[in-house]
Amino acid sequence: MSNRMLGVALAAIAASLPVCAQAQTVADFYKGKNITMVIGSAPGGGYDAMGRAVARHIGKHIPGNPTVVTQNMSGAGGIIPTNHMFRVANKDGTVFGTVNNTTPIEPLLGTKEATYDPTQFNWLGTPSVEVGLVAVWHESPIKNLDDLRTKESTVGSSGANSTPSFYARLLNEVLGAKMRIVVGYPGQNEAFLAMERKELDGYPSTFYSALTSTRPEWLRDKKVNIVIQYGPQRQPELGNTPFLPDLLTKPEDKALVETAFAALALGRPFLMPPGVPADRVAAMRKALMDTFADKDFIAEAEKLQLSVGSVRTGDQLQKAIADAYKSPPELVARLRRLAGQ
C-alpha cells in the first residue's frame, strides 16, 4: 500500500471513531447529571445546615450545571460516612461531601474504626476555620484563666474519649488547668443546660460559631465567661481573651497543640473520594470557592447564622492534613494518650 493510500485509510479509521473516545470536557461530563453531596451528620445540625446551603448554590458554578442532591449519613462521630467516601462512593466525580473536621485526624489518634487514609482524599475547601473556647457560667467561681489554673472546675463531655474530653485533657496538660471532666452528656446542648442548672461550671470545647448560632444571648448578656480561646487563629470579636498558643513556651507543647488544632483549621471541610480525575477535582474546587464568594450564598449563610469567613482552599486543607501526618512518633504518642487511645 502506498503512503498516500495508507494515510487515507488511517484518516478514515480516525473519522469513524466514536465521539466518546475523544477528550471529554468537564462540562460535557457534568451536563444533565445529578451529583450527590454526602452530608456526614444527621439532619438539623451545623454541618447539615452548611451542606444544604452549599448544595443550593454550587450547581450553577460547576461546569455543565448539574443538579446537586443531598444525602445525610451519620454514625460514629462522622467516621462511618468518611469510611463510605473512601471505600464505597463513586470515584468518577459524581459524589462529593462534607464531614466532621475531627474525622481526618482520627487515624492519627489511633481510632481503629477509621479505616481511611485522609491524605488520599481530594480536599476541596472550607468556608471557615473553627476557634475553640472554654466557656464557664457567669455564676461559677471560675472567672478567668488564673482561676482555671488554680481552682478545680467541672466541665461536661459526652464520653471519656470524646472531643471535649480530649481538649480538656490537652489544656490541663499544657496549661496546668484543673478541669474535672464529667461524662454522660449526650451533646453540647445538654451540657449547656447543665451549666444553666449550675451542675457544671463550663464546657471545654465549644466553637465560637456554635456558641453564636445556638446561644447568641449568652455572649450578648454576659451569661458566660470565655476564659481562653484556642485554634489556628484568634477570634477578633473576643478581643483580649487569652489565646492558648501565645501562652506556651516549650517547643514540644507548641508542636503538640499545633497538631491537635489541625481539626479546627479544617473548619467545615468539603471533599471528594480518592481517584477522581484531576480536571473534575479542579473544577469542583473552583466551584466551591466561587460559591463561598457568591452574594446569594453569603446572604443565605448570614440569615442562617452560618460562619463564612477565613475561607481555605483545597490545597491548604490538603497541606494541613499532610503536615499533621508527618508528626514525629513521640508527638503522636502524646496525642494518642490525651485522646484516650
The pLDDT of residue 41: 87
Report the range of poorest mean pLDDT among 101-105, 294-298, 313-317: 101-105
93-116 pLDDT per residue, tens? 999 999 999 899 999 999 999 999
Mean of pLDDT over the chain:
91
**Buried b / exposed e along 197-216 (16+ C-beta atoms within 10 A):** eeebbbbbbbbbbbbbeebe
Residue 44 pLDDT exceeds 90: no
Percent of the chain with pLDDT over 90: 78
Domain boundary assignment for the chain: 17-129+267-338, 132-263
CATH superfamily of domain region 132-263: Periplasmic binding protein-like II (3.40.190.10)
- 164-190 in b/e burial notation, b at 16+ Cβ within 10 A? bbbbbbbbbebbebebebbeebeebee
Query: What digits encode the pLDDT tens for the residues 161-216?
Result: 888 899 999 999 999 999 999 999 888 889 999 999 999 999 999 989 888 878 88
How high is the pLDDT of residue 74?
87
**Which residue, among 341, 176, 193, has the nearest Cα to 244 in the 3D structure?**
176
Q: What is the pLDDT of residue 85?
A: 97
What pLDDT does residue 19 have? 43
- Residue 157 in contact with residue 182, Cβ under 8 Å? yes
Q: Tell me, what's the pLDDT at 212?
A: 84
- pLDDT band of residue 21 (cuts 50, 70, 90) is very low
pLDDT at position 13 over 70:
no
Say whether 132-263 and 17-129+267-338 share the same fold: yes
Highest mean pLDDT among 14-18, 58-62, 210-214: 58-62
Quote the pTM value: 0.83
Rg of the chain, C-alpha, whole Å: 24
Kindly report, residue by residue over 111-143, the tens digit of the pLDDT. Answer: 999 999 999 999 999 999 999 999 999 999 999
Q: What is the predicted pLDDT for the residue at 22?
A: 53
DSSP 8-state assignment for residue 75: -
Position 107 scores a pLDDT of 95
User: pLDDT by residue (tens digit) across 271-291?
Assistant: 999 999 999 999 999 999 999
Q: What pLDDT sits at residue 26?
A: 97
Options 3.90.1150.10, 1.20.120.80, 3.40.190.150, 1.20.120.1780; CATH of 17-129+267-338: 3.40.190.150
- The 10 Å Cβ neighbour count of residue 112 is 9
Q: Is the pLDDT of residue 20 over 50?
A: no
Percentage of the chain surpassing pLDDT 70?
Answer: 93
- Among 62, 59, 89, smallest CA distance to 73 is for 89
Whether 245 shows a pLDDT value over 90: the answer reads: yes
pLDDT at position 244, please? 97
So what's the pLDDT on residue 50?
A: 93
Cell representation of residue 228 = 481562653
What pLDDT does 158 receive?
85
